[in-house]
Amino acid sequence: MSNILRSKCLVVGDSAVGKTALIQVFNSDNTFYPKNYTMTCGVDLVVKTVNVPDTNDVVELYFYDSSGKETYLDMMQKLWHNPSMWALVFDVTNEDSFNNMSSWLQKLQDLKPAVPPTERHDWSRRTLFLPGKRMAQTICRTN
């Protein structure tokens, strides 16, 4: 019998930074890269099942691909409750999208969990990981 772990990931950032493309590439195991851009309206849900090596266990990743438009913010925040993780996405060639990360992070940190935090869902234990931060800062300084 296998175990199924379900994990909710909110993917946020400014419009046209590549959130949807990033999810589609991951969902297709790097076999598909969208050549045409279609703006996300509100939130799109993408589910990816990943097998855990050497076990019968699987992880179901629920990606909430959020529009970067403020117009949809109220609706998006209703769907954002109780995430397992966040992915803040910015365009390394667009300084504004990088500078807006603090605003997106604040919106996420302002979310109130649906249930009181437990050791398993302690918001203070969240890790902020910005792999492109140094590269973006370097690019922004040179432009």
| Per-residue tens of pLDDT for the chain, all 143 residues | 689 989 988 899 998 898 888 888 888 887 877 777 777 877 888 999 999 999 999 999 999 888 888 777 777 777 777 888 888 999 989 999 999 998 988 888 777 554 444 444 454 545 555 555 555 555 555 55
Q: Which two tokens stand for residue 124?
A: 């203070």
Q: In Å, what is the CA distance from 124 to each residue of 59, 84, 87, 116, 117?
A: 24, 13, 17, 13, 9
pLDDT at residue 116, rounded to an integer: 47
Show Cβ contacts of residue 136 under 8 Å, excluding neighbours closer than 6 positions: 90, 92, 95, 98
Residue 131 tokens, joined? 């792999």
pLDDT, one tens digit per residue, over 55-83 is 999 999 999 888 888 777 777 777 777 88
pLDDT for 118: 46
The pLDDT, as a whole number, for residue 115 is 45
Q: How far apart are the first and last CA of the chain?
A: 55
Architecture of domain 4-142: 3-Layer(aba) Sandwich (3.40)
pLDDT at residue 62, rounded to an integer = 92
Q: Parallel, antiparallel, or unpaired for β 58-66 and 43-51? A: antiparallel
- What's the CA gap between 102 and 131, in Å, rounded? 15
Residue where the block lists tokens 């097998």: 51
Q: Find where tokens 């209703």 sit.
A: 78
User: What does the mean pLDDT of the chain come to?
Assistant: 78
Q: What is the CA radius of gyration of the chain?
A: 16
Spatial separation of the C-alpha atoms in residues 136 and 95, rounded to whole Å: 7
Identify residue 27 by its one-letter amino acid code.
N
Q: How many CB atoms lie within 10 A of CB 105?
A: 15
Q: What is the pLDDT of residue 142?
A: 54
80 CA to centre of own chain:
11
